[in-house]
Structure formats: structure tokens, C-alpha cells
Amino acid sequence: MSNNLLKGKRGIVFGALDERSIAWKVALKAKGQGASLTLTNAPIALRMGAIERLAGQCGAEVIPADATSVGDLENLFSKSVEILGGKLDFVLHSIGMSPNVRKNKEYAGLNYDWMLKTMDISAISFHKVMAVAEKQDAMNEWGSILALTYIAAQRTFPDYSDMAQAKAMLESIARSYGERFARLKKVRVNTISQSPTMTTAGSGVPGFDVFMDYAGKMSPLGNASADACADYCVSMFSDLTKMVTMQNLMHDGGFSSSGITAGVIEQMKK
Ligand SMILES: NC(=O)c1ccc[n+]([C@@H]2O[C@H](COP(=O)([O-])OP(=O)(O)OC[C@H]3O[C@@H](n4cnc5c(N)ncnc54)[C@H](O)[C@@H]3O)[C@@H](O)[C@H]2O)c1
């Protein structure tokens, strides 16, 4: 159902890799709510080709950009403004990758070059995105910029490894840049802390299915789906949430406020 919540709004969606990606669902829902958008991903991810299908469904152009490259981001923002015919109202940063997680490195034996790569891709890229948007004056007043994060920024989840540090930095960047962008341009910046979700990035974490099951039982409403996360992103891009900024917003079915739940107690009794 469309309420045209994003009618006339323009934006960039980073990170749609395949149908399971949270960004994929955000792009479809934003389009369904009346937005026009461009899609982007790292050149290597674009080679898989799935994004072209999404582009067709959204009537969107795909502009390659490695989010760690300021040059690529400059090209992305200037082309997006040109193609969409004006400044932007929303940006979704839906990017995460750790070579240490991917290669199953023990936490004590992290490869530090890879750790720097984790930080650059998963956190510093968010700063680069906003710095380019600011430099090009590419955002409209009251625009909304979002990044997706995970509660491992605040609590330990051992298999999440150096991504925990990356998410802590990402959330901190959202606060620091949120203060700046509010002051300069009345643009809001937030992170959404999403439940574990079965996507390519999610399922790269060892033991993810067991973990999802546990998180679901520890969340009174159950795990939030990618679809529900996309709905929340759309509401955060809309004019209904204009005064929300510099927040880490929990979208987790109640996980973050639960000490123990009836679901876990039931399981322990078995
Ligand atoms: N899946 C989960 O359980 C979960 C939970 C909380 C938060 N998140 C976060 O949600 C976001 C989206 O992840 P997802 O679960 O949809 O998985 P996904 O694998 O579909 O998306 C991750 C995206 O990051 C992109 N990416 C990696 N390196 C890049 C680079 N250098 N430049 C540009 N893009 C790059 C990938 O190509 C991919 O499209 C990530 O920030 C992730 O950490 C995921």
C-alpha cells in the first residue's frame, strides 16, 4: 500500500546486492512510496548483475562506486543530482564487510591490515559519503541520511569480531556528522540497529542460524525482518520524522531491552 510518503523525494541507495539485501527492499519500498532514486554498489558486486533487475523495477540508474573511494563518491553524488534533476532528500548507507570475518580469523589473531579495511568499508565510508554530500551541497534541507548497524557495537557477540568496532565507529560518526549537518543544513543523520537478518553479509558470520534463533527468542516481537527494516527506513526518510537526528534507533523486536524472555525460559526448561 502506498501513502506517497516520499512523493517528489530523491535519493541514493547503497548496498543492494541481491533480493535478500536490506537495501534491495528499501529501494523497492522507497520507489513504491513515490521516490526517485539511483542505486550504487562496489564495481565487483555489480558484476554479479542482480542489481540490474532491481534497477528495472525501480526505474533507477546504477552508478558504480567503491564506498571507500572519495573519487567514486564524488562521481556518484554529482551524477545522481544530475540524473534525478535536483538535490537529494535521502541517502541509505547499507554497507558492511570484514575480511577478518570472511576469512574466519580468531579475534586474538586479527590481521590488522584487514581490520583497517573493515573500518574503511564499514564505518569511515559513511563519513566519506557525508563529506562528499556536504562539499557538493548535494542535500536538500530536512534531508535524511541513514546507516544500518548492529547491537554488537554496544554488547559483545564474539563471532562478530572486528565488525563490532566498525559498528561502534559508524554510530559515532552518525552523531558527530549529525550535529554538523543539522547545524549547516538541517539534515538529519541516524543509524538503525537491525535484528540479525539472513542476507549475504549476515550469513557470513559463523553460527548465524543458531544465533538468529536465539535472538528471535530473546525478542518479544521476534526478529525484525528485512521488509520491516525497509519500512522503518522509509518512515525515517519521510517528513514524519523531521526532528529525529543523531540517534541509534533500535529496530529489533525488543531484543535490546530484554533481560530474559518467556521464549528463552521455555527453551531452558526443555
Ligand atoms: N544481516 C544482518 O544480520 C544485519 C544486522 C544488522 C545490520 N546489518 C547491516 O545492514 C547493512 C546491509 O547488509 P545486508 O545484511 O543487507 O547484507 P548485504 O550483503 O546484502 O549488503 C552488504 C552490502 O555492502 C556492499 N559493500 C561491501 N563492500 C563495499 C564497498 N567497498 N563499497 C560499496 N559497497 C560495498 C556489498 O556489495 C553489499 O551490497 C550492513 O551495514 C550490515 O552490517 C545487517
Phi-psi region of 49 (alpha: psi -120 to 50; beta: other; left: phi over 0): left
The preferred substitution site among 21, 102, 165, 209 for testing ligand 1, maximizing ligand atoms within 8 Å of CB, is: 21
pLDDT at 206 over 90: no
Among 96-100, 142-146, 156-160, the minimum mean pLDDT is found in 156-160
Structural domain includes residue 251: yes
Q: What separation in Å is there between the alpha carbon of 226 and the centre of ligand 1?
A: 12
Judge whether 17 lies within some domain. yes
User: Distance (Å, rounded) from C-alpha 104 to C-alpha 124?
Assistant: 23
Query: Quick one: pLDDT at residue 211?
Result: 87
What are the C-alpha distances in Å from 269 to residues 129, 262, 263, 264, 265?
Answer: 49, 11, 10, 9, 6
Domain that holds residue 44: 10-269
Overall domain count for the chain: 1
Which residues, at least 6 apart from 49, have a Cβ–Cβ distance to it below 8 Å? none
The runs of H, that is alpha helices, within 59-105 are: 70-84, 99-102
Q: What is the pLDDT of residues 9-35, one digit of tens each?
A: 999 999 999 999 999 999 999 999 999
**Per-residue pLDDT band at 46 (split at 50, 70, 90):** very high
Position in ligand 1 atom list of the atom nearest CA 45: 37
The owner of cell 548496498 is: 15
In ligand 1, the atom with minimum distance to the C-alpha of 198 is: 1
Residues 200, 209: Cα–Cα separation, whole Å: 13
The predicted pLDDT at position 231 comes to 98
Once rounded to an integer, what is the mean pLDDT over residues 96-122?
Answer: 97
Mutate to test the pocket of ligand 1, among 51, 72, 95 (most ligand atoms within 8 A of CB): 95
Residues 151-186 have pLDDT tens digits of 999 999 988 999 999 999 999 999 999 999 999 999
Measured from CB, residues less than 6 Å from any atom of ligand 1 are 15, 17, 21-23, 41-42, 45, 66-68, 94-97, 121, 148-150, 194, 196-197, 199-202
Give domain status of residue 2, yes or no: no
* Nearest-CA residue for atom 29 of ligand 1: 42
In angstroms, the CA 233 to CA 203 distance is: 22
**pLDDT score of 214:** 93
The residue among 87, 176, 92, 193 whose CA lies nearest residue 127 is: 176
Q: Ligand 1, atom 11: nearest CA belongs to which residue? A: 94
The residue whose C-alpha atom lies closest to atom 38 belonging to ligand 1 is 15
- The confidence score (pLDDT) of residue 82 equals 98
Q: Please tell me the residue having the least CA distance from ligand 1 atom 17.
A: 201
- Report pLDDT for 61: 98
At residue 118, does pLDDT exceed 80? yes
Q: For residue 255, which amino acid is it?
A: F
What count of residues does the chain have? 270
pLDDT band at 197 (very low <50, low <70, confident <90, very high): very high
Task: Specify the pLDDT at position 67.
Answer: 98
Please tell me the distance from the alpha carbon of residue 92 to that of residue 64, in angstroms, as a whole number.
Answer: 15
Q: Give, in order, the Cα–Cα distances in Å from 49 to each of 19, 93, 162, 249.
A: 12, 20, 29, 32
- CA dist 262 and 260 (Å) reads 7
Opening angle at CA 228, ends 223 and 232, nearest 5: 120
Ligand 1 centre and the CA of 267: distance in Å? 31
Give strand pairing partners of 142: none
The residue whose CA has the least distance to atom 10 of ligand 1 is 148
Ligand 1 centroid to Cα of residue 94, in Å, is 5
**Which sign does the torsion angle of CA 153, 125, 175, 62 carry?**
negative
101: CATH: 3.40.50.720
pLDDT tens-digit readout, 211-242: 899 999 999 999 999 999 999 999 999 999 99
In a domain, 1, yes or no: no
pTM of the model: 0.98
Distance 270 CA to ligand 1 centre (A): 36
Q: Tell whether the model's pLDDT for residue 113 goes beyond 80.
A: yes
The answer to whether residue 4 sits within a structural domain is: no
Could you tell me if residue 109 is inside a domain? yes
* pLDDT value at 72 more than 80: yes
- Residue 267's pLDDT is what? 86
Whether 120 maps to a domain, the answer reads yes
In a domain, 99, yes or no: yes
